[in-house]
A and B are shown apart, each in its own frame.
Chain A
Amino acid sequence: MKVLLLSFLLAITPVWAADVFAPKLDIGKGGQCVEEPQWMRKNHMKVLMHQRDETVHQGIRDSKYSLKNCIECHASTKDNSVIGRADSFCEGCHRFEAVKIDCFECHSSKRRPALVQGESK
C-alpha cells in the first residue's frame, strides 16, 4: 500500500508543481509553433536577435522568426496584445522570471487588424 501511495505521489508531483508555480498564459490563437515549444522557451531571444539584425541591415524579411509572426499567433484573442496583463503571452512569463522586455517600447505589441494584414503580407 505504501509503495502504491508513493508511486502515485511521484506521478502527480510534476503536474502539481507546474500547475501551481508556472505562469498560466493566454496563448492566443496558438497552434503549431515554428519550433518545439520547449526549445522556444529557452531560445526565442536568440532567434529574435538574429532575425532583427538580418532584417534591419540586410532587408531579409523572412517571416518565420519575425516578432510580427510571434504576435500574429500569440496575441490574446481578448485584447489583441502580448503584453499588459498578468497572463499575456510575453509579459506573463517575463514577470514570472523577472526579466524586463524592451521590445515593446518601440515595437507594436498588437496583432495587425485583419484589414491591413492582406496588403502587408
Chain B
Amino acid sequence: MSDTDVRRRQFLKTSVGAAAVAIAPGMLLFDMAHGKTEAVSSKVRWGMLIDTANCADGCNDCVQACNKENGLSGGLSPTDSQWIRKVELNDMRSGRTLALPMMCQHCAEPPCVDVCPTAASFKRADGIVLVDKHLCIGCRYCMMACPYKARSFVHEPLHDQKPDVPRGKGTVESCTMCVHRVDKGQQPACAEACPNKSILFGNLNDPDSEISRKIRTVASTQIRADLGLNTGIRYQGI
C-alpha cells in the first residue's frame, strides 16, 4: 500500500469520527426538548361508569360540553353530528323514568372495526375506539354495524375546526373519549362538566383506580351485554 493511500484512509477515519460527534448532540437535544413521546399501551384501558340515578332529568351539560370541546354545531337534524345524546327511558308499566347519556361505548370487540374496509376504524391500545380520518373513505359501514348508533357522518364542508379536533366532510366520526385531553392527563369534557359527578372516568385495568373499585362494589350493566362486545362504558342503576 502506498503512503498516499494510508494517509487518505487516516483522513477518512478522522472525518467520519468528527461527523458522528457533530450529529449525536443534536439528536440528544431533540429528544429532550419535546413532550410526550411514549406510545399508549394496553396496560391501560380507559372506561367510564355512568351513575344513572344521579343523572338529572332535563340536564344537558355533558352534551353541551362535548359540543363545545369538539366544535360540533349542536344541531339535531339528521345531518348534524351528535357524539353524545341524552336518552330518556320510560317504563310504561311502572311509570319509572330514567335519563342517561349515550355515546360510543368503546367496545373491546368493536363491530365498527370489524367491518371497516380501509382499517380507518380502529381501537387504540388503551381501548379508545377512533376513526383515522386520513384513511376513512366515508362508506359508512361502521355506522350500520354500530349497535349504539354512536357514529355520525359529516355531510357538509366545515370551517374553523378546533386545532385539537380535526373534522371534515366525507368522513365518519364519533366520541373520541376526548383523546386529546386524555393524552394530556385530563378527563373527557363530559365527565368534567357533569354537575352531579355521575360520569366517572378512569382506568379499568388498574384494580386500585376509583372506577375499578366502584365496579367491584356496585351493580353495573353494559348496554346490549348480550352482544358480548365488552363495552368500556358501564351504567349503574338501569
Contact = CB atoms under 8 A, between A and B. Distances in A.
A48 to B, nearest CB: 11
B166 A64 contact: no
Interface string B85-125: 00000000000000000000000000000000000001011
Interface residues of A, number: 21
A65 B5 CA distance: 44
A59 B161 contact: no
Interface in B45-61: none
A105 B36 contact: no
Contact of B36 (A52, A61, A107): A61
Given A52-B134, A60-B39, A62-B37, A105 B157 contact: yes
B189 to A, nearest CB: 13
Q: Helix, strand, loop or mixed for chain B's interface?
A: loop
A73 to B, nearest CB: 14
Interface in A72-121: 105-108, 110, 112, 120
Nearest to A34: B30
B124 A107 contact: no
A108 B37 contact: no
Contacts of B164: 120
Contacts of B126: 59
B139 interface: no
B132 A57 contact: yes
Nearest to A59: B40
B132 A106 contact: no
Contacts of B155: none
Nearest to A66: B34
A62 B36 contact: yes
Interface in A52-70: 52-54, 56-64, 68
Contacts of B163: 68, 71, 107-108, 110, 112, 120
A29 to B, nearest CB: 16
A106 B166 CA distance: 5
Given A56-B134, A106-B133, A106-B168, A64 B33 contact: yes
29 contacts: A52-B134, A53-B134, A54-B39, A56-B130, A58-B39, A58-B40, A58-B124, A58-B125, A59-B39, A59-B40, A59-B126, A59-B179, A59-B183, A60-B39, A61-B35, A61-B36, A62-B36, A63-B34, A71-B163, A105-B168, A105-B169, A106-B133, A106-B161, A106-B167, A106-B168, A107-B161, A107-B163, A108-B161, A112-B163
Which 9 residue pairs are nearest across A and B when measured between Cβ atoms?
A106-B168, A58-B39, A59-B40, A106-B166, A108-B163, A107-B166, A105-B168, A64-B34, A62-B37
